[in-house]
Amino acid sequence: MASTAGVSTATVSRVFSKPHLLRESTVVHVKEVAAQLGYVPHHTAQALSTGRLGTIAVVVPDIANPFFPPVIRAAQGHAYGAGFSTLLGDTDEDPAKEADLLATLEQRTDGIVLVSSRLPEDVVRRHARHRPLVLVNRDITGVARVLVDSAAGVRQAVDHLAELGHQHITYVSGPDSSWSNQQRRSAVLEQSAARGITATVQGAHRPEHDAGRAATAEILASGATAAIAFDDTIAQGILSGMAERGLAIPDDLSVIGCDDILAVNTYPPLTTIRSRISEAGRLAVEMLLQLVENRAEADAGEDDRMEPRHALTSSLIPRATTGPPIRRSRKG
């Protein structure tokens, strides 16, 4: 390539990386020759000499969980726009595999977006100290992170139910270890107290359809006239449980889901709390690329560590599974 164009390899290199250093005619000429020869800078060689891989990784507990694809999609899209490729890691919900994956990806990427990590805080913190890392939905001090603040949406949900006339609602919990679950539960309890209505909590459930279906009996027994579920999957399960009993939605029970996953694709359309999860993916990548930049500069002197913590708001999307409590005022 260099010889064909009659220049040195250094010049060819500069044409593609620092063209402003060269005379414009040189740049044009080399590019022409390159186009004819189909020459493209060798990515791996670039990576080796610059130390920048042009690759990030997105690590999630389970790709098949419908919560994650939008995040991944947005992350990949944004990374691609910035010239980065995206490696995908699936930890299979297993912390050991997650740690393993992190170690492997460490040397193959410029940085990692770690979604809903199950790893202990100090492990994550240690990793973040020497490699660019951004968390999604995990709140660890000292580590860059973007959190989906479902609390706002949950408060709206409670308000919505209170305004419809519900006096007793229940929160159907997700996994205890989940940061989101803790946040949502607290928000339900606090906002209910603020509105002067009763709120109870139904034990921990795995975020699965069957768990929701199984929870139905307990919900009905509690006397609540409305349920806020940890996520849409559980909410759908509750709908199934109600249908099996021949009970009507929302007359016999108002149901609110969370995450707005598929919620509009079922009947009746599920009232849910939409958190802008795809925005979380985009934002996380944005922050990560920022860190990657900073680290490159930090080598040159300044070490301007910041601790960004972005919280994305959420809001209630009222659809057809909520209404005034009609038949089941059994308590009174």
- Applying CB under 7 A, which part among 7-15, 129-137, 159-167, 241-249 lies near DNA? 7-15
Using the structure block, give the residue that is written with the tokens 């694709």: 265
SS3 178: coil
Report in angstroms how near the CB of residue 34 gets to DNA at its nearest: 10
**Residues within window 29-58 making contact with DNA, judged by CB under 7 A:** 39, 41-42, 45-46, 48-50
CB 158 within 8 A of CB 188: yes
The verdict on 10 binding DNA (CB under 7 A) reads: yes
Residues 42 and 9 sit within 8 Å (Cβ to Cβ): no
Burial 132-146 (b: 16+ CB within 10 A, else e): bbbbbbbebeebbbb
DSSP letters, 210-240, are HHHHHHHHHHHHHT-SEEEESSHHHHHHHHH
- Start-to-end C-alpha separation, the chain: 86
Contact track, its own copies, 220-239, x by CB under 8 A: -------------x--xx-x
**Residue 126: how many other CB atoms lie within 10 Å:** 12
Indicate which of DNA, its own copies, none lies near residue 72 (CB less than 5 to 8 Å, by partner kind). its own copies
Which residue stretch of 48-56, 125-133, 162-170, 304-312 sits at the interface with its own copies (rule: CB under 8 A)? Answer: 48-56
The reply to whether 66 sits near its own copies by the rule CB under 8 A is: yes
**76 binds, options its own copies, DNA, none, Cβ within 5 to 8 A by partner type:** its own copies
- Residues 6 or more apart whose Cβ sits within 8 Å of residue 30: 5, 7, 11, 12, 15
Smallest distance from the beta carbon of 287 to its own copies, in angstroms? Answer: 19
> Which partner from the list DNA, its own copies, none does 328 bind, CB cut-off 5 to 8 Å by kind?
none
Q: Show the tokens assigned to 306.
A: 């910041």
Candidates 4, 8, 36, 104: give the one binding DNA (CB under 7 A): 8
Q: In angstroms, what CA-CA distances link 293 with 36, 131, 296?
A: 34, 12, 5
d(CA 317, CA 181): 19
Whether the CB-CB separation of 268 and 320 falls below 8 Å is answered with yes
User: Rule CB under 8 A: is residue 293 a binding residue for its own copies?
Assistant: no
Options 54-62, 123-131, 139-147, 154-162: segment touching its own copies (CB under 8 A): 54-62
Give me the 256-285 binding string for its own copies, x by CB under 8 A, dash otherwise: ------x-xxxxxx----------------
Q: How far is CA 83 from the centre of its chain?
A: 21
Report the nearest approach of its own copies to the CB of residue 146 (Å): 19
Residues that bind DNA in the complex, under the rule CB under 7 A: 1, 6-14, 16-18, 21-23, 25-26, 39, 41-42, 45-46, 48-50
Residues that bind its own copies in the complex, under the rule CB under 8 A: 40, 42-45, 47-48, 53, 55, 58, 62-64, 66, 68-70, 72-73, 76-77, 80, 85-90, 92, 101, 104-105, 107-108, 209, 233, 236-237, 239-240, 243-244, 262, 264-269
